[in-house]
């Protein structure tokens, strides 16, 4: 495969760090116990509200396999990861090799960004997005968010002009959130994060009737975003499984239906959480109420957007006399294109095929180092393949995000690196391709798999992060 070159700056609008443990060092000494009873983790365990063990993302949670939060770095792909899964238990050396330290360390991050064709990045935390909305102690959440945002400032300052951060907000407390938006904005963070879920039955949308001069409890939050110019970053996540205050028939996230249907909520929880947020924002006049608000839609894919906007426009017309009189006449699609951007990932061919719909609102995301992440080189290849013009590629891969965040372009990477030299044990080459093709079609290859003595992985053992399944099997897939 021919190596690519580029002559423009790539901005990765949504990549992750793995909630580095030094974050907790930023909590003032006198409040450490408070935060410990709110949300706390180390490499092996994590606790919510002081009494609920949760999966905090540390390497220990995934032993003896790899950490999927830190795996998708340079030149990784799903076949390699699947093979690595099947190789469990990995040795400590193997686990360390496939762990991308840029998830924790800013200097390591830069090296990996260079390999992935990324000049600048906005980093977003990981499991705190999942669990912090369920923390009960409002002061504890607030203190933790302040610590995270202070940590983030110093983390990004390690490599100025390349590293930027999205602030964490104590969303279950709107007044504290409004305050933290202002503080985080002063720290220089261009984006503040909100996850659109009904955690603790407090979906973050109660702004009051658009006809009222005052507003609901979250009005102050969105006013603060407007006043500071900070971008509202809506970021979704896999479904939680906490009891809902209204009872077992109610959900905090629409993604929970996927868990209940016996599948993996990671498939669509991200997308559905965002669709729920966006459709009500666009049909309620929310953006008319906050006309200076700038919103970024993260980690939810984008191919669904054009059809949903068409559908929202149609519904907007159908309910013309039911939506109240204070609305502007902007169609939902017009409001979106004026006040929102949406992230997409490298493999979204349907977005590239409809590039005219995304030219000024699409912002590329690597999602590194989460296991479905990918580099910018693959995005460029996929765009070129379907004929996205070069000037549009430059907007989609960086120009739009920087415009939205108010960041100047800087270019540090121009050439795609050669293949990384890997150790002998690392899955690669023809052998990997042959194995991947075989296990991708287990029914067609059942006999061959049997002959080779290859068995399916015990899923419970892998998910539990225990070696129990590993000892039972030899070769596996």
142 HSE (CA, 13 A, CB side): 14
Decide: 4 and 416 in contact? Cβ < 8 Å.
yes
Q: Does 68 bind other proteins (CB under 8 A)?
A: yes
Please state at what angle helix 332-339 crosses helix 305-318, rounded to 10 degrees: 130
Task: Tell me whether residue 70 or residue 184 sits nearer to other proteins (CB atom).
Answer: 70
State the CB neighbour count (10 A cutoff) for residue 353.
14
Residues 374-403 that bind other proteins (CB under 8 A): none
3-state secondary structure of 298: strand
Residues 296-335 that bind other proteins (CB under 8 A): 301, 303-304, 306-308, 310-312, 314-315, 317-324
Q: Does 443 bind other proteins (CB under 8 A)?
A: yes
Q: Are strands 362-364 and 340-344 parallel, antiparallel or unpaired?
A: parallel
d(CA 56, CA 300): 22
Q: Supply 140's token pair.
A: 């504890």
How far is residue 432 from each of residues 13, 62, 428, measured CA to CA in Å?
32, 23, 5
- The size of the interface with other proteins (CB under 8 A), counted in residues, is 93
Task: Tell me whether residue 96 or residue 307 sits nearer to other proteins (CB atom).
Answer: 307
Q: Does 439 bind other proteins (CB under 8 A)?
A: yes
Decide: 238 and 272 in contact? Cβ < 8 Å.
no
d(CA 374, CA 138): 36
Q: Does 210 bind other proteins (CB under 8 A)?
A: yes
Q: Does 171 bind other proteins (CB under 8 A)?
A: no
Judged by CB under 8 A, which of 251, 295, 365, 396 binds other proteins?
A: 251
Instruction: Find the shortest distance in angstroms from Cβ 113 to other proteins.
Output: 22
Judged by CB under 8 A, which of 126, 236, 275, 393 binds other proteins?
A: 275
Q: Does 361 bind other proteins (CB under 8 A)?
A: no
Q: Does 79 bind other proteins (CB under 8 A)?
A: yes
Instruction: Find the shortest distance in angstroms from Cβ 252 to other proteins.
Output: 9
Residues 34-53 that bind other proteins (CB under 8 A): 48, 52-53
Decide: 251 and 201 in contact? Cβ < 8 Å.
no
Task: Tell me whether residue 31 or residue 279 sits nearer to other proteins (CB atom).
Answer: 279
Q: Does 137 bind other proteins (CB under 8 A)?
A: no
Q: Does 475 bind other proteins (CB under 8 A)?
A: no
Judged by CB under 8 A, which of 264, 391, 410, 415 binds other proteins?
A: 264
d(CA 121, CA 366): 9
């Amino acid at each position: 495969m021919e190596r690519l070159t580029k002559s423009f700056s790539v901005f990765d609008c949504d990549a992750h760090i793995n909630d580095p443990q030094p974050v907790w060092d930023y909590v003032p000494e006198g409040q450490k116990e408070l935060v410990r009873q709110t949300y706390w983790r180390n490499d092996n365990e994590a606790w919510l509200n002081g009494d609920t063990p949760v999966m905090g993302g540390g390497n220990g949670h995934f032993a003896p396999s790899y950490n999927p939060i830190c795996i998708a770095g340079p030149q990784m792909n799903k076949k390699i990861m699947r093979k690595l899964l099947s190789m469990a238990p990995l040795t400590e050396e193997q686990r360390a090799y496939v762990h991308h330290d840029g998830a924790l360390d800013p200097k390591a991050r830069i090296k990996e960004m260079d390999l992935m064709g990324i000049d600048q990045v906005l980093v977003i935390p990981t499991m705190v997005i999942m669990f912090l909305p369920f923390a009960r102690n409002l002061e504890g959440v607030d203190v933790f968010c302040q610590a995270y945002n202070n940590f983030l400032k110093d983390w990004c300052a390690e490599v100025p002009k390349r590293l930027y951060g999205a602030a964490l907000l104590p969303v279950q407390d709107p007044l504290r959130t409004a305050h933290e938006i202002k503080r985080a904005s002063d720290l220089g963070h261009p984006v503040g994060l909100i996850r659109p879920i009904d955690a603790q039955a407090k979906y973050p949308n109660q702004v009051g009737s658009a006809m009222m001069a005052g507003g609901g409890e979250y009005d102050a939050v969105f006013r603060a975003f407007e006043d500071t110019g900070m971008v509202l970053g809506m970021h979704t996540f896999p479904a939680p499984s906490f009891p809902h205050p209204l009872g077992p028939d109610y959900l905090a996230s629409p993604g929970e239906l996927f868990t209940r249907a016996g599948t993996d909520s990671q498939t669509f929880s991200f997308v559905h959480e965002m669709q729920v947020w966006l459709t009500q924002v666009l049909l309620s006049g929310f953006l008319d109420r906050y006309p200076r608000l700038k919103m970024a839609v993260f980690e939810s894919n984008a191919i669904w957007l054009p059809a949903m906007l068409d559908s929202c426009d149609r519904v907007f017309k159908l309910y013309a006399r039911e939506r109240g009189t204070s609305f502007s006449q902007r169609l939902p699609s017009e409001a979106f294109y004026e006040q929102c951007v949406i992230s997409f990932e490298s493999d979204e061919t349907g977005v590239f095929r409809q590039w005219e719909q995304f030219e000024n609102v699409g912002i590329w995301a690597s999602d590194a180092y989460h296991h479905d992440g990918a580099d910018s080189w693959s995005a460029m290849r996929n765009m070129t393949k379907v004929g996205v013009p070069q000037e549009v590629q430059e907007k989609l891969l960086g120009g739009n995000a920087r415009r939205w965040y108010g960041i100047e372009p800087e270019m540090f990477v121009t050439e795609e690196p050669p293949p990384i030299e890997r150790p002998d044990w690392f899955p690669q080459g023809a052998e990997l391709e042959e194995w991947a093709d075989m296990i991708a079609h287990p029914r067609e290859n059942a006999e061959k798999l049997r002959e080779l003595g290859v068995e399916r992985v015990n899923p419970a053992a892998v998910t539990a992060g225990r070696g129990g399944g590993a000892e039972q099997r030899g070769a596996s897939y």
